[in-house]
């Protein structure tokens, strides 16, 4: 109703922009008032051009002349320039030139010049000044590349007495324009849309608040940007460049190394399929090595008894060991089916690359139609075993991608299983992509967009019914985002029935917890730490026979209704307890956890600190040690 009311779109956009501005200001305050002082106390100073001594300015000018000047390409914003194109997400420096030192035409008395900051060609955004011992008394000192250019600006424009330098950044609409009908060649459509992404419609121009209005006026005239697309930012943009901030060998300021842990039940060397045939195994990345997955695929590719491999690929790494193993399998005569999602945002090019390589090699590559995404993470290996050559299936189901790059940063859980019933249901999901036959005969898997929503609502209703009878009832839900109105309404109803609901949400959370008469039995927390919490876990009390599901699906309308997603149960008591313990550590976090209003949930006086990710690492380390000791 709020969105459909008259004038709502403009009002909602204004509210969003106001909130973005509030967050931008909070971010700036945190950087200035917490990060920079802490860095300085550790013996590293980030200076601005105005902080430099005369000696440092001389050194910076020399550095500019030798290392930076030739990388700059000035564009004058005058009547000869009819249109200005700004790259998406690039930082530009604006120069307002005033007070010419010699007589000049009136039109040249004030000029606006623009240059792209050459971060990539320079080799980074930061320049370390010489000297410094890395102590508060004698700190290492660093400049933004922006400030190196500020120091050199006067020498760039020697004809002007005043040169003011400011920074801007443009963000463009990155949505791909793909028709809502099935195309004969989706690859062609995606490739065409990707080519247009860099020139997408301007969505926001972030500018330094000190930027002169004359400069902004000139940029608007040359780009067609409207006033409502101007957003006041800070002096510096693109803080992602801090990934390249010099460390000066200060390992004491970095996260402690957490080497990948050996898996407690999967063999370190030799074949994996026999181990999966004996029992189910959980994989917890990045704490345990994702290499078990490409290793399993390489094994299957070279196994004469393996007849087929089916896999869903949502985000494929540019140098993918998974895709290379699939190519090897095709070469060895295996039937390989790959459901490749071409519409995975910002991974389209890598996915296209591997899809085409697999197609050329002879794999059966399936693309989802424009209106549907495959977000499920599934692998199925079919193998002939025994004297009679009976078919046995091995399945891998995960909350995370088949991607080695993200597996080192995203915290996810995955299941290796040879359970015949689960593997048969995974096969049903793949048959849907091949034949269009909807998977309906499901006893274990919850599959969107077919059964997931209905089954989740049924599980929530069952908890509410038990609560009304005075029985123990609870739900623990860990997702990236919760915004579906139907699921939120069901959780509100469960809360009112007396069900205790605990939400662990990292991203979007549209449910309001703790409201009297509505959600007083619902609590919410989120965890932002070293690794990105990417796993989805659903826990239901189930009358004392707790049900635990791992899943690829957030509780968002798009995931429940417009994506192929899979939630899968943990049937093994030991593995269920393992996931519950990891989840309980996150529920107990009082170092990095935050509440619904983004307040840190810090430990009370006398309460021992619990940093969940560190505690999870130590738990899995002990688990691996115990299992190794038991084998000896």
Report d(CA 400, CA 415) in Å as an integer: 11
What is the b/e burial string over 212-246, where b = at least 16 CB atoms within 10 angstroms of the residue's CB?
beebbebbbebbebeeebbbebbebbbeebeeeee
Question: Residue 546, SS3?
Answer: coil
The tokens 């992404």 sit on which residue?
Answer: 197
Helix residue ranges per DSSP H, 473-569: 485-497, 557-561
Do residues 142 and 44 touch, judged by C-beta distance below 8 A?
Answer: yes
Question: In whole angstroms, what is the distance from residue 90 CA to residue 120 CA?
Answer: 10
* Cβ–Cβ under 8 Å, residues 367 and 187: yes
Name the strand (E) or helix (H) holding 336.
Answer: strand 335-340
Residues 6+ apart with CB under 8 A from 398: 283, 377, 378, 412, 413, 414, 415, 550, 552
DSSP secondary-structure letter at 88? B
Residues 6+ apart with CB under 8 A from 579: 282, 413, 537, 548, 550, 570
Give the separation between CA 104 and CA 102, rounded to whole angstroms. Answer: 6
3-state secondary structure of 218: helix
Beta partners for 367? 340
Chain centre distance of CA 288: 20
Residue carrying the six token digits 């979007």: 508
Handedness of CA 61, 64, 70, 72 (dihedral sign): negative
Round to whole Å and give the CA distance between 226 and 531: 38
Residues designated as active site: 375
The Cα 526–Cα 593 span in angstroms is 6
100: DSSP letter: E
Residues 6+ apart with CB under 8 A from 69: 152, 155, 156
**CA 186 to CA 90: how far, in whole Å?**
30
Closest by CA position to 490, among listed 475, 479, 504, 480? 475
Q: Going by DSSP bridges, is the β-strand pair 160-172/91-100 parallel, antiparallel, or unpaired?
A: antiparallel
* The token pair that represents 100 in the structure block: 């010419």
DSSP codes joined into one string, 53-80: -HHHHHHHHHHIIIIIGGG---EE-STT
Say how far apart CA 404 and CA 195 lie, in whole Å: 26
């Amino acid at each position: 109703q709020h969105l459909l009311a008259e004038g709502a779109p403009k009002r909602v956009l204004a509210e969003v922009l106001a909130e973005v501005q509030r967050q931008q200001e909070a971010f700036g305050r945190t950087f200035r008032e917490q990060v920079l002082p802490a860095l300085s106390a550790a013996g590293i100073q980030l200076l601005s051009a105005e902080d430099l001594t005369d000696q440092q300015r001389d050194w910076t000018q020399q550095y500019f002349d030798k290392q930076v000047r030739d990388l700059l390409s000035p564009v004058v914003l005058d009547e000869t320039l009819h249109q200005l194109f700004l790259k998406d997400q690039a930082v530009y420096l604006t120069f307002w030139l005033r007070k010419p030192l010699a007589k000049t035409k009136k039109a040249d008395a004030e000029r606006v010049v623009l240059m792209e900051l050459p971060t990539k060609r320079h080799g980074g955004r930061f320049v370390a000044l010489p000297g410094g011992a890395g102590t508060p008394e004698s700190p290492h000192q660093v400049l933004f590349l922006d400030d190196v250019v500020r120091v050199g600006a006067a020498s760039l424009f020697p004809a002007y007495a005043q040169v003011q330098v400011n920074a801007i950044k443009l963000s463009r609409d990155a949505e791909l324009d793909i028709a809502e009908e099935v195309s004969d060649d989706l690859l062609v459509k995606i490739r065409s849309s990707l080519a247009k992404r860099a020139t997408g419609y301007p969505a926001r121009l972030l500018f330094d608040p000190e930027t002169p209005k004359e400069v902004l006026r000139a940029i608007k005239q040359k780009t067609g940007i409207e006033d409502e697309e101007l957003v006041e930012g800070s002096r510096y943009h693109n803080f992602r460049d801090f990934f390249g901030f010099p460390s000066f060998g200060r390992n004491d300021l970095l996260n402690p190394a957490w080497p990948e842990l050996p898996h407690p039940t999967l063999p370190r060397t030799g074949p994996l399929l026999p181990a999966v045939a004996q029992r189910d195994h959980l994989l917890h990345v990045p704490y345990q090595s994702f290499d078990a997955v490409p290793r399993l695929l390489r094994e299957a590719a070279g196994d004469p008894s393996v007849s087929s491999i089916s896999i869903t690929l949502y985000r494929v790494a540019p140098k993918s060991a998974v895709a290379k193993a699939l190519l090897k399998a095709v070469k060895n005569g295996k039937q390989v089916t790959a459901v490749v999602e071409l519409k995975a945002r910002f991974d389209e090019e890598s996915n296209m690359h591997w899809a085409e390589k697999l197609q050329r090699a002879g794999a059966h590559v399936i693309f989802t139609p424009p209106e549907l995404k495959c977000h499920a993470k599934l692998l199925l290996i079919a193998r002939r075993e025994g004297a009679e050559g009976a078919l046995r299936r091995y399945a891998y189901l995960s909350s995370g991608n088949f991607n080695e790059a993200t597996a080192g940063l995203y915290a996810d859980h995955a299941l290796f299983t040879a359970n015949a019933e689960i593997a048969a249901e995974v096969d049903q999901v793949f048959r849907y992509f091949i034949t269009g036959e909807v998977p309906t005969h499901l006893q274990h898997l919850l599959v969107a967009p077919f059964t997931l929503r209905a089954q989740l609502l049924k599980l929530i209703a069952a908890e509410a019914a038990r609560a009304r009878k005075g029985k123990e009832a609870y739900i623990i839900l860990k997702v990236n985002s919760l915004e579906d109105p139907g699921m939120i309404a069901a959780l509100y109803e469960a809360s009112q029935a007396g069900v205790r609901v605990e939400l662990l949400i990292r991203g979007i959370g549209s449910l309001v917890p703790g409201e009297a008469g509505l959600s007083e039995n619902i609590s919410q927390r989120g965890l932002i730490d070293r690794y990105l919490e990417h796993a989805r876990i659903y826990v239901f009390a189930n009358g004392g026979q707790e049900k635990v599901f791992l899943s690829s699906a957030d509780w968002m309308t798009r995931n429940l209704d417009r994506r192929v997603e899979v939630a899968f149960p943990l049937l093994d008591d030991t593995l269920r307890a393992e996931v519950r313990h990891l989840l309980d550590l996150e529920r107990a976090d009082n170092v990095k956890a935050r509440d619904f209003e983004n307040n840190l949930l810090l430990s009370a006086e006398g309460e021992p600190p619990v940093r969940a990710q560190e505690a999870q690492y130590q738990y899995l380390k002990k688990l691996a040690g115990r299992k190794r000791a038991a084998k000896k």
